[in-house]
Amino acid sequence: MRSSLVLLASVLVLPLEGMAAYPERPITFIVPFAAGGPTDVVARIVAENMSKTLGQQLVVENVAGAGGTTGALRCAQATPDGYTIMMGHMGTHGAAPAVYADLKYDPVKDFVPIGMAAGTPILIVAKKSFPAKDLKEFVSYVKANSEKLNEAHAGVGSVSFTTCAFFNSLIGAKPTRVVYRGTGPALNDIVAGQVDYMCDQIVNLVPQIQANSIKAYAVATAQRSPVLPDVPTTKEGGLAEFQVSAWNAIFAPKGTPPEVTKKLSAALQKALADAGTRKRLLDLGADLTDKEAQTPEGLAKLVQSEVARWNKVLKTVAMKEPAPPPK
């Protein structure tokens, strides 16, 4: 009896001991969009600090395609041992179920939430030569000429796709929607004047707006961004109905042991409390005010409410237009 108890105790203790050493090797950190875009930028900033805390590198792997759902599925199907995690966002873990009838993962059931990294207000931006001086002129021009205009997005279900689908439907515009593997490459084409406009997350845009290489017509939040004090809100610009903000958050596959997710979550929260990491994110316009969402419990709630919200919003929006094939 006694020896069997001892045996039982050692069996119970073993897995915990194994995990105490986590992480023992680098962690693959899936970014479901092209390098250089908003999700990639936020991921790399937090990964740098988290790697120091964890004593192992978080190695970013860009797995782009299908509006971020290819990378999210890769993460959902990975071995849940803490060595594959991802940076998801409002698209992959909020809007995607509303636009893909056959989505192969469930943002709620197939992941363990680790925590939100950054809120990312949405801006309406256009190429520098776009012939409109403010949001009112922009809206009338787009309405009148939308068939001739190209709008860039990062694939069906991405933040840029869903938020601009909402924008286009609000103003009754039907531009040609050009798909990219992320808004990093899309932004390059806006700077080069090859596409006309897009709706994108602030962290991708601030340097180009400050350098005057693109035009920013409005930020879709209640307040102006402290890093872009000259850019009016959509409300100030006469389009108060277009209020939308995105977010980027870390997830692990379902079944990842709690000891592991706790370590990851603590490392993320430590990164978000670090002055240097905060400054880098804040300088790009990220919103770090939602402390509750930085916890696994808060993120779980956010994902549930976002799936419901986007399901409602996107039902009212013409989402059915065929997207052109990826470049």
Number of H helices, E strands in the chain: 11, 9
Rounded CA-CA distance 261/53 in Å is 14
Q: CB of residue 158 vs ligand ASP: minimum separation in angstroms?
A: 3
Q: CB of residue 68 vs ligand ASP: minimum separation in angstroms?
A: 6
Angle, helices 183-191/38-54, rounded to nearest 10 degrees: 130
Q: Which residue number, 82 or 119, has a Cβ lying nearer to ligand ASP?
A: 119
- Rounding to the nearest 10 degrees, give the CA dihedral for residues 152, 90, 267, 203: 30
Q: CB of residue 324 vs ligand ASP: minimum separation in angstroms?
A: 16
Q: 274: closest CA among 35, 61, 51?
A: 51
Q: CB of residue 154 vs ligand ASP: minimum separation in angstroms?
A: 4
Residues that bind ligand ASP (CB under 6 A): 33-34, 37-40, 68, 89, 91, 154, 158-160, 182-184, 201
Q: How many residues does the chain have?
A: 327
Rounded CA-CA distance 238/232 in Å is 10
Rounded CA-CA distance 198/203 in Å is 14
Q: Which residue number, 54 or 85, has a Cβ lying nearer to ligand ASP?
A: 85
Burial class (CB in 10 A: 0-12, 13-18, 19+), 4: exposed
Q: 116: closest CA among 297, 327, 274, 284?
A: 297
Q: CB of residue 15 vs ligand ASP: minimum separation in angstroms?
A: 36
Q: Which residue number, 165 or 239, has a Cβ lying nearer to ligand ASP?
A: 165
Q: Which residue number, 255 or 326, has a Cβ lying nearer to ligand ASP?
A: 326
Q: CB of residue 181 vs ligand ASP: minimum separation in angstroms?
A: 8
Q: CB of residue 37 vs ligand ASP: minimum separation in angstroms?
A: 3
Q: Which residue number, 88 or 113, has a Cβ lying nearer to ligand ASP?
A: 88
Rounded CA-CA distance 41/113 in Å is 20
Q: Which residue number, 158 or 245, has a Cβ lying nearer to ligand ASP?
A: 158
Q: Which residue number, 54 or 96, has a Cβ lying nearer to ligand ASP?
A: 96
Q: CB of residue 71 vs ligand ASP: minimum separation in angstroms?
A: 10
Find out whether 281 and 42 touch, Cβ atoms under 8 Å: yes
Burial 39-48 (b: 16+ CB within 10 A, else e): bbbbbbbbbb
Q: Which residue number, 34 or 281, has a Cβ lying nearer to ligand ASP?
A: 34
Distance of CA 245 to the CA centre of its chain: 10
Q: 192: closest CA among 176, 175, 212, 213?
A: 213
